[in-house]
Structure 1
Amino acid sequence: MTQSHQTHRRFADIAGAADTRSRRATGLLLAAALVMLGIHVMQLATFALPSGQFRNFHLGFAIVIGFLALIEQSGAEQRLRRIAFWALTALTVALMAYIHVEYEALTQVRSFLPSGPDIVVAILLLMTALILSGFQWGWTIPALAVIGIAYGLWGYLMPGDIFFHGGIAPKRLLGYTSIPYFQGLLGSLTSLSAGTIFMFMLFGGVLKATGAIDFIVQLGFTVGRRSRAGPALVAVVSSGLMGTVSGSTVANVASTGALTIPLMKRYGFKGEFAGAVEAVSSTGGQLMPPVMGLAAFLIVGMTGLSYNSIMVAAIAPALIFYAYLMFSVQLRAVSLNLDARDSDVLDGGPSLATAARGQWHLAVSIAVLVWLLMSGIPAGNSALIAVLLLLGLDVLVTLTRGRFSLDAFRIALGRVVNGLVEGARAGAMVATVIAVIGVLIELLTVTGFAQKLSFAMLDLSDGSLFVLSIIVAASCLVFGLGLPTSAAYFIVALFGAPALVETGVPLLAAHMFVFYFANLSAVTPPVAVAALVGANIAKASFWGTSFNAVRLALPGFLIPFLFLFEPEILGLGEGLSAQMLAVSQAIIATGALNCALEGHIFQRISVIERITLAITALGLLYWDVRIEMVSLALIVALVAWSGWRAAAARRSPVN
């Protein structure tokens, strides 16, 4: 390999694109990412820029980085594609510069009377954002935004009270998409992305670059070696923790699943079950604090509630979800008579103690992040402090291991830059899609459609909270079929959550309900994108994998109803003792339901026992004390009966 090729490879690795096809694009991406980072750090530290200008830089650099990343992936044979992306990159820079230079005039002189150039800039900015989000996230979200714009223009032609509105003049409509109103692409969602989400994506990028993924997988292996479920428990632990790093269900399945799914199959689990375990574990990673797949920050933006209250409320449901999943894989291993403790499938690799000694600074930075968040420090500032701490500790560890040599210094600097660029790439990608969603949300709001749909839901439910909850849950699952979790949550939260609140549901409980069902669309047929990826890796049937995934994710479909009818499970209302009681009920009920579905407690149980156990498990989740007490008594009796029979079978002589 020549010296120039070696230099190119090192340069690309630092920029986070080892497979780049354009060195020029990689270099510009590296520069854009570092400038974007500098602007964000400066803003969080000094608030030197007006809010609108900061949002403009945030979105502009995000789009530039996105197009440069697409150029990196385009081969020399795709000449027209490259030329188009270069042109769009240059255009974005010009649009960003125009908005920055004209900011004062836009906000003080032309805020209600945009000029011709303002209209052109608004159209072009919308076009670039739609094109980029289409290439990055698929064309569903841009298509919905375009439909929203068309609805804003021609809503006066729509039939019925719900869909009809007076129409919005073209100039005013374009103002809602970006300038001069600084809504839509440059609205409150982009402000949330710039001030908070970007910093957490940066933290995730730095965690990856400093070895967090290897440590998480090693932690999973250590737990798995001590369990009968073995590789299945590795998938549950590693994928759940990966959710605090990647923020993407599909990315979790693709990364950890490539390792865990073949291990599960080799161990003896069927391909459909192995793919489902990985899909559900990765989906649950989005429910796990402190990051929650960005949902915590989205809920903050929609409700105005504090981040701390959302994170604390999410802990108990997430623990129930994973307790059920761990019990499920353990029960399946028992049913199949598998025991990883007697298998060599997880042998090899360093011990957890060795891995922990090498990666102690990762745990320290995460602990500091959680402590800062719980202390009431703004989420964006907390993430920035955690990033700086992690980078500083990683540099210290790297230099110490390398005895402060020149090579150690180069390695440390490379890890710092790689982590920052990796985080900037991820943050930029999220910023673009959130901005496009902001356009759709803005238009659904200003046309009155969201409010009218919310009232229609209330009318359809005839005041019944249970009926309304079914309607809202179905809406989440339907919207989530073709959209990322964040988009599905945003859209349904706009009209579903207010309808729930109107019936007396606490605001946080309503939004957590919507968020859970938006997440579970990733494992719900007929699309079930997480199950699809898991099935492809497992070389298994998609439908078999997706139905197994629905079963393994069952608490995610049941617990949200407790948010509405027993909000104590979220820590709302009656104190810690009430929450612990609700959590205990949920754990017992979901465990009993698991046994009923598997057909096994201490031994195989009959069909009648399975049906009885399933009914009593659901009864224990019902919001009536008398039904709950009877259900609990029956569950205890069935478990005791199974235990007595299993003990008797062990005592009886073998014929």
Structure 2
Amino acid sequence: MSETETKVIDRTDESSKVDLDELMRKYDTEARFRTLSGWQGKMIAVLAVAMSCFHFYTSGFGLLLAQKQGAVHLAFTLALVFLLYPASSKQSKTSGIPFYDFIFAAFGVASAMYLVVFFNDLVTRAGLPTRADLVMGFILIVTLLEATRRISNPILPGLAIVALLYCYFGRYMPAVIAHRGFNVARIVNHMYLGTEGIFGTPLEVSSTFVFMFILFGAVLEKTGLGKFIIDLSLSLAGWSTGGPAKVAVVSSGLMGTVSGSSVANVCTTGMFTIPLMKSVGYEPHFAGAVEAVASTGGQIMPPVMGAAAFIMAQILGIPYIEVAIAAVVPALLYYFAVMVQVHFEACRLGLKGIPWSQLPPIWPLLRSKGFLLIPLIAIIYFLLAGYTPLKAAFNGILISFVLSWLNKETRLTPLRTFEAFQSGARGAIGVACACATVGMVVGMGTLTGLALRIAGAIVSLAKVTPESGLAVALSSIVSLLPGATMAAEAAAAALTKVFTLFFTMIASLILGMGLPTTANFIVTSTMAAPALFLLGVPPMAAYMFVFYFGIAADLTPPVALAAYAGSGIAGSDPMKTGVTAFKLALAGFLVPYIYVYSPMLLFIDVVPIEMVQAIGTALIGVFLLAMFTIGFFKAHMAFYMRIIAFIGALGLMIPGTASDIFGLAVLALIFVVQTAKARMKAKAA
């Protein structure tokens, strides 16, 4: 190990005080698996590798029919969940697998594979299920709910149970959501044998695109890409003002392109970056919050985003690359906001970067391991060239394998490949359970028609009439501005849209506190996003809106899991870390509103000049927003100046030349005032 590497690693000695496994188990339910050895451990390893081999082979040489592919995918998933995850957190994680979990696993596999074995018979008698069909369907529903409870938490299966009960007891519900009700046979038939229940779009995407990209990430991790990304980030940003925090932002954003879990990202890169940030003077709660915000943003960072992005593409019926392209500008705004805030915080505290002598030199680093970035570049090329995400991931894995042999340290030996395939399967089963279970919620919506009723209810709740005081007041205020007028009818429509967006945001955040991001997106895209369609919001903008806020739930107290994981590493107060993370991610809460009102930021109906203006003013707006959250620009900002900065930020983010001019005037005012204040402080010193 070189002297340079030793100096950098010395700064992270504090991380050894943190039990990473315990931290993961505390905040990431998918990390609460059994630690097995002997024949049971080998059996699970072989089963996981077999699952990865099945998906790798079918992605390269031809998928099964969608329902068959999903059934095999689910059979592997249920077997692994029951063998890996105990029924209670109080059970020993090392005492072996109890006999009843083998029984659960057998029932789960049998009920899923029943669809594969008797597929032709089921197709010929579609709509007329036999008793055996319904019994197997009932068994699958029960085992799936239990598996999801074990690997996730009781909230998601609880939501599915409520959906099933609603299907049955619909006639007894209040008039606004009542329906005629369905018997058990009809419900099981719809959920098990139909294509809008368990084996609907979410599981179809999980069994194809999502699994392969998770496997791609696992393979890249085994080549040492994670360490290379951290070293590269240190070389690029470690020397600058507050460099370690910028390293956290860059490395976590890059790691997020190959990992879809906020908590896992925090624990992976945070073990290095958080102690490094603390070592140069950042407060513990701020260090934990920066890592949480940067890691969470990985799910919105192209080219490889969270699993929900693939489902979004499938729902919209468009190539995944279009979703990735649409996410580029919002992701850049998000990370630019975080980067500016950590810079202002470093300036406020007078922090410096890491000396050049303690950083890995960039050119030797790129020469020795720069090829590790080629698979990511190849993925982008394949997607742009029109390949399906499935084929792009397959080719990316092959390229990773070949390139890994260029360096002894990165070589994917048979043992490393086995471990990567095992890790890939383990990383995918949580998503598979969530997608299959939430499929029942989606199936409830299609069976009962509840989705459209909820959309109408949200719009009705948010509706503002032209005669209301709010509409009259808004039209009067706007009319006071030079050259601006607004009728009460237009004001009412504008307020209705704002309130609908706000209620949809709240629904996404609340669901996100208990559901995985993928499940959250599927539920909100089914139940809440249609309300935005009724107001004329483009489908891409509507789905991206709920996608963002589902992810933001990981940073929103009281259940901010990513922030709490960061606080565990930083040794800070969890709630204080969560509140700080919320402040740092404030741009992420405003950006979705921006692209709803200015869809060009998602590359929808682009007018080049207007788009350049929209992006430029949004970046400046984010700059002002950072002043508001940190309270510093050249010198400490008084409270009233921070409020002015926030108002100016809103002006620049709201589409329109008049509001942009107002925001720029605010920026000029703050620049003059803060520059004068900084000079006075310098003279006094």
Residues 1:282 and 2:292 aligned together: no
Contact 1:272–1:540 (8 Å) recurs in 2: yes
| 1:48, distance to aligned residue in structure 2 (A) | 6.0
The answer to which of 476-485 and 573-582 deviates more is 573-582
Q: Which residue of 1 aligns with 2:346?
A: 333
Contact 1:70–1:85 (8 Å) recurs in 2: no
Q: Which residue of 1 aligns with 2:433?
A: 432
Residues 1:178 and 2:192 aligned together: yes
| 1:305, distance to aligned residue in structure 2 (A) | 2.5
Q: Which residue of 2 aligns with 1:243?
A: 256
Cα distance in 1 between the residues matched to 2:354 and 2:368: 26
Residues 1:571 and 2:603 aligned together: yes
Alpha carbon RMSD of aligned pairs, Å?
2.5
| 1:599, distance to aligned residue in structure 2 (A) | 2.6
- Helix, strand or coil: the match of 1:68? helix
Give CA-to-partner distance per residue, 1:536-574, whole Å, 9 cap, x none: 222222221121111100111111111111111222113
Alignment of 1:225-624 (within 5 A): 225-341=238-354, 348=358, 350-398=360-408, 412-462=413-463, 463=493, 464-624=496-656
- TM-score using structure 1 length: 0.90
Q: Which residue of 1 aligns with 2:219?
A: 206
Identity score, percent: 32
Match for residue 179 of structure 2 among 165, 170, 190? 165
Residues 1:55 and 2:70 aligned together: yes
Match for residue 43 of structure 1 among 30, 53, 58? 58
| 1:644, distance to aligned residue in structure 2 (A) | 4.9
Q: Quick one: which amino acid aligns to residue 264 of structure 1?
A: M
Match for residue 102 of structure 1 among 118, 126, 130? 118
The answer to which of 94-103 and 522-531 deviates more is 94-103
Question: Cα gap change, 1:119/1:22 in structure 2, threshold over 3 Å: closer, same or farther?
Answer: farther
Cα distance in 2 between the residues matched to 1:635 and 1:160: 53
Question: Cα gap change, 1:315/1:233 in structure 2, threshold over 3 Å: closer, same or farther?
Answer: same
Q: Quick one: which amino acid aligns to residue 378 of structure 1?
A: T
Q: Which residue of 2 aligns with 1:627?
A: 659
Cα distance in 2 between the residues matched to 1:148 and 1:387: 39
Contact 2:287–2:570 (8 Å) recurs in 1: yes
| 1:231, distance to aligned residue in structure 2 (A) | 1.9
Residues 1:70 and 2:85 aligned together: yes
Give CA-to-partner distance per residue, 1:179-211, whole Å, 9 cap, x none: 3x2442222221111121111011011011111
- TM-score using structure 2 length: 0.86
Q: Quick one: which amino acid aligns to residue 391 of structure 2?
A: N
Match for residue 37 of structure 2 among 2, 14, 22? 22
Q: Quick one: which amino acid aligns to residue 129 of structure 1?
A: L
- Helix, strand or coil: the match of 1:340? coil
Q: Quick one: which amino acid aligns to residue 519 of structure 2?
A: A
Cα distance in 2 between the residues matched to 1:339 and 1:244: 29
Contact 2:244–2:354 (8 Å) recurs in 1: no
Q: Which residue of 1 aligns with 2:477?
A: none
Give CA-to-partner distance per residue, 1:223-277, whole Å, 9 cap, x none: 3422111221122112111211221001111222222222222322222211111
| 1:444, distance to aligned residue in structure 2 (A) | 2.3
Cα distance in 2 between the residues matched to 1:479 and 1:96: 28
Cα distance in 2 between the residues matched to 1:503 and 1:19: 49
Contact 1:602–1:642 (8 Å) recurs in 2: yes
Residues 1:92 and 2:108 aligned together: yes
Cα distance in 2 between the residues matched to 1:535 and 1:649: 35
Q: Quick one: which amino acid aligns to residue 259 of structure 2?
A: S
- Helix, strand or coil: the match of 2:633? coil
The answer to which of 304-313 and 18-27 deviates more is 18-27
| 1:647, distance to aligned residue in structure 2 (A) | 4.9
- Helix, strand or coil: the match of 1:292? coil
| 1:349, distance to aligned residue in structure 2 (A) | 6.6
Cα distance in 1 between the residues matched to 2:346 and 2:286: 11
Cα distance in 1 between the residues matched to 2:222 and 2:83: 21
Contact 1:569–1:580 (8 Å) recurs in 2: no
Q: Quick one: which amino acid aligns to residue 459 of structure 2?
A: L
The answer to which of 220-229 and 497-506 deviates more is 220-229
Cα distance in 1 between the residues matched to 2:51 and 2:94: 31
Question: Cα gap change, 1:646/1:306 in structure 2, threshold over 3 Å: closer, same or farther?
Answer: same
Cα distance in 2 between the residues matched to 1:150 and 1:352: 59
Question: Cα gap change, 1:395/1:84 in structure 2, threshold over 3 Å: closer, same or farther?
Answer: farther
Q: Which runs of 5+ in 1 are unaligned?
A: 1-15, 403-407
Question: Cα gap change, 1:182/1:473 in structure 2, threshold over 3 Å: closer, same or farther?
Answer: closer
Q: Which residue of 1 aligns with 2:145?
A: 130
Q: Which residue of 2 aligns with 1:9?
A: none
| 1:514, distance to aligned residue in structure 2 (A) | 0.9
How many residue pairs end up in the alignment?
A: 622
Contact 2:160–2:438 (8 Å) recurs in 1: yes
- Helix, strand or coil: the match of 1:227? coil
The answer to which of 88-97 and 424-433 deviates more is 88-97
| 1:455, distance to aligned residue in structure 2 (A) | 0.8
Contact 1:516–1:560 (8 Å) recurs in 2: yes
- Helix, strand or coil: the match of 1:226? coil
| 1:53, distance to aligned residue in structure 2 (A) | 1.5
Contact 1:512–1:560 (8 Å) recurs in 2: yes
